[in-house]
Amino acid sequence: MTTFDTTLTPAELKLDISRLFRKKRLLAFALPAPVLAYLTYVFLAFDVPGLWAKANLENARTLVSDSYSYKTHVTRDNRNGAVSVSIEGERKGTYPDGTAPDWVALGKTTVIDLEDGHTVTFGPETIEYAIPGYGTVRATPSRSAGVQAELPAGDVPEWISVSKNRLAVETGAGRLTVTRNRAEVFRYFAGWELFFFTLDSPYSGMAAGELLQRAATGEAGAIFQDFWTNKMWRHQDVAWAIAETLLMAFLGTIGAAVIALPLAFAATRNFMPLRALRFAMRRLFDFFRGVDSLIWTVVLARAFGPGPLTGALAILVTDTGTFGKIFSEALENVDRKQIEGVASTGATPLQRYRFGVIPQITPVLLSQLLYFFEANTRSATIIGAITGGGIGLLLTQAIITQKDWEEVAYYISLIILMVMLMDWFSGWLRRKLITGGR
pLDDT digits (tens, 9 = 90+) for 258-299: 999 989 988 888 888 888 998 999 999 999 988 888 888 888
Pairwise CA distance, residues 150 & 388, whole Å = 50
Per-residue pLDDT, averaged over 231-237, amounts to 92
User: pTM for this one?
Assistant: 0.79
Helices in 75-219 by DSSP H: which ranges?
208-214
The span from the first CA to the last CA of the chain, in angstroms, equals 41
Top pLDDT among 333 and 433 is at: 333
pLDDT in tens, 401-421: 877 888 999 999 999 999 899
Per-residue pLDDT, averaged over 64-91, amounts to 88
Least confidently predicted of 48-62, 206-220, 310-324:
48-62
Contacts of 297 (CB under 8 A, 6+ apart): 310, 311, 314, 383, 386, 387
**How many CB atoms within 10 Å of residue 249?**
28
pLDDT above 70 covers a percentage of the chain that reads 92
Residue 437 confidence (pLDDT): 55
Residue 119 confidence (pLDDT): 95
Per-residue pLDDT, averaged over 117-140, amounts to 92
Top pLDDT among 50 and 113 is at: 113
For residue 87, is pLDDT > 50? yes
Task: Classify the phi-psi angles of 115: left when phi > 0, otherwise alpha if psi is within -120 to 50, otherwise beta.
Answer: left
Q: Which of 127, 92, 120 is nearest to 105 (CA)?
A: 120
For residue 2, is pLDDT > 50? no
| Angle at which helices 358-387 and 235-265 cross, to 10° | 140
pLDDT band for 250, please (50, 70, 90 cuts). Answer: very high
Residue 103 confidence (pLDDT): 94
